Structure 1
């Protein structure tokens, strides 16, 4: 399930599916084994007998992928084949979990999907797939299962004619080992592994965003202020040559150079504001966002309800997020008015930008995707509520950190959760 009315192509928070299998608990344990054969015992016998064919398929697949992938690592196609093989191993693990759930009553959560980041490029995504811990644990499970599958198949098959009086107890012991293997190797990665994978993926997004910002600054300097300064130097050189011959012409050229200086200074101020505005450093989000709102093409109401300022990094991300959202409002929304609200609830900083314009413009969708990636890289959340025809409300959520750099606990604020406001 997802939040209502998501903008197409925009990441939103995914809520747990109540129909999905939950974590293992007391309900997973079968009733005690008895001399009398019941449904649980027959299911366990069926599981042990099907272990061998399932183990053969998994073993052959694992050995083939590992041998071919490792053998071709010196070529371009080796790592992609290995990544695809690990992705296929995830599907085999899904089948094994379903089989254990149906026959052994083992309920194991499905692992989270790999945190792919489309803007990270091909090679970071490929490396993420090659390091997939879920796939590698599934490979280990398949390798272990072949000798174990042979043993359980032989014991269960021969036990039907030899060990009949005590077979239920033998089957239960073997099935318990299977349950331990499934829980130990086919359960989701622990929180640390998931967190590491997400952080590694997010690091690529941050690096790409920083590189894009540096290219933008370089381009703006080269095409703007630098070009004007070059023209200024040439104009002053010509004015110097004409100073004695034609003072009036020299004075006119100096006047033009003076105008070029003013334009170059203005462009440098705009560029500096785009890197980190002085008003944000000196006076905080309230004044900085009010300055941004004053440059918007539609009237914007700004409400900042913060008892204290967040850490400079969080403050900067909040500023540029609102700034880009208001640029989208100016360029694409055709709105008559907009509003910006900023507040803190416990250890999160919330930003909400709303307008009464049209929804679904292609330019707005593109900007949303980039913002969602950047916020996700710092443990943020980005949610769009944009029904057909408008209005549009964008809510961004960031972790709150004090200016000392430490995470904070609860604090007074509006107190309304983002879910309620969405």
Structure 2
């Protein structure tokens, strides 16, 4: 008795029922992605050895010489090179593992920071340190993956695609954990570094301005007042009328000095804003505008103090722009809360044409609001009307960014 093969299937000698030999599937007919993963795993050993040796050498020598003048610069150079090795590994992961990886932010450039400042920036580079850690822990895994992949390629090739996929999943996890850019964290670090310098510069400028205003303004008036009162005292007995006239003049000087001190204090931080909030503060601010202003404030509660300050000085600068440049007849201010945001809109019926892309004060406002996660939009077609909308977080972290934004807004509000 002879056995029959299944319909359409090969018989015992590999032929079909019609007598033609059927082609065998090629032994290594793997998808292209599988071959890329295999290439990645086989290359791991050489790349891992090079990166491990380099990282171990510069790290050991740099730390060993850290007490000398060459140790810290050597560490900084090593971290720069580790950044480059991390860039190469990301390139390899994109090409062979089909991963989508963005490059991390470059090291922040701080003009005028000097050699020590740049050195400290390099030594604190999180991207370089993560790339170094990746190079050090990758070598043992590279040895394992190379041995398994090479063995499977000649012994267990039918299951090699699954082996390669499993091994490269571990590689992908390591790349995500150590080589993916943490953009938000790095952006915050760079922002805080920048804002810290801005806070220092702003504080120094404010101190110089206060000193100048006191010296040239209130102090000069008080000196003149003291001299006038001294002369009036001398004339009190021999010429009472002249003395009385000089006292009247001194009284006027006192009023002017008090007004200058109030203006100076208002420029630092208006007391009405601290005591009563944005509604009354903006009403008092609009009363000093040369254009009639309608103020509408619908806030169920007060936002964070830093946000109040930014909002106040933002509106102050916008009102000064309206007074000086818009040619408007009326203006309107609206404040309201939407979810966890404070929204401000300032409108006027002036000539329009305002923009944030011409190096104007509006571009500075947009930058300052952006530093505290705010938004700034200008709608000002030629011929008007103009509507400026600002959006701020209701609560914001307290720190250099918020403090710097308040300080910069305050200075712009005074100088606008």
Report the TM-score when normalising by structure 1.
Answer: 0.67
Distance 2:91 2:383 in 1: 43
Distance 1:258 1:107, change over 3 A: same
Larger radius of gyration: 2
Call closer, same or farther: CA 1:253–1:366 in 2, change over 3 Å.
same
C-alpha contact 1:120 1:201 (8 A) present in aligned 2:
no
| Equivalence map 1:314-333=2 (5 Å) | 314-333=307-326
1:397 to 381, 391, 396: 391
> For the structure 1 residues 255 and 386, does the alpha-carbon distance in structure 2 shift closer, same or farther, using more than 3 Å as the test?
same
Cα separation, partners in 2 of 1:193 and 1:148, compared to 1, 3 Å: same
Give the number of the structure with larger relative contact order, counting CA–CA contacts within 8 Å between residues 6 or more apart. 1
Number of the residue aligned with 2:400: none
Q: What CA distance in whole angstroms lies between the structure 1 residues aligned with 2:383 and 2:54?
A: 51
Measured against aligned partners, the alpha-carbon deviations of 1:237-291 in whole angstroms (never above 9, x if no partner) come to: 2333343454454444333322221110110111122223233344432222122
Q: Structure 1 regions of 5+ residues with no counterpart? A: 1-33, 403-422
Matches within 5 A, 1:159-198: 160=153, 164=157, 167-168=160-161, 170-189=163-182
* Alpha-carbon separation, structure 2, partners of 1:334 and 1:69: 65
Q: Residue 112 and residue 262 in structure 1: after superposition, are their counterparts in 2 closer, same or farther (change >3 A)? A: farther
1:369 aligns with 2:379: no
Q: What are the within-5 Å matches in structure 2 for residues 89-104 of structure 1?
A: 89-90=82-83, 92-104=85-97
- Distance 1:334-1:91 versus aligned 2 partners, 3 A rule: farther
- The secondary structure found in structure 2 opposite 1:307 is coil
Whether the 8 Å CA contact 1:52–1:150 is kept in 2: the answer is yes
Counterpart position of 1:228: 221
1:277 and 2:277 correspond:
no
The Cα of 1:230 is off from its aligned counterpart by 1.6
Structure 2 gap ranges (5+):
1-26, 397-416
Any conservation in 1 of the 2:279–2:297 contact (CA below 8 Å)?
yes
Work out the CA distance in 2 between the residues paired with 1:331 and 1:80: 56
In the aligned structure 2, how far is the partner of 1:73 from the partner of 1:148?
34
How high is the TM-score relative to the length of structure 2? 0.68
Greater shift after overlay, 293-302 or 185-194? Answer: 185-194
CA distance in 2, matches of 1:309, 1:315: 8
State the shift of 1:344 in Å: 0.3
Following TM superposition, by how much is the alpha carbon of 1:93 offset from its aligned partner in structure 2, in angstroms? 3.5
Q: CA RMSD in A?
A: 4.5
2:354 counterpart (343, 356, 359)? 359
Cα distance in structure 2, aligned partners of 1:128 and 1:390? 49
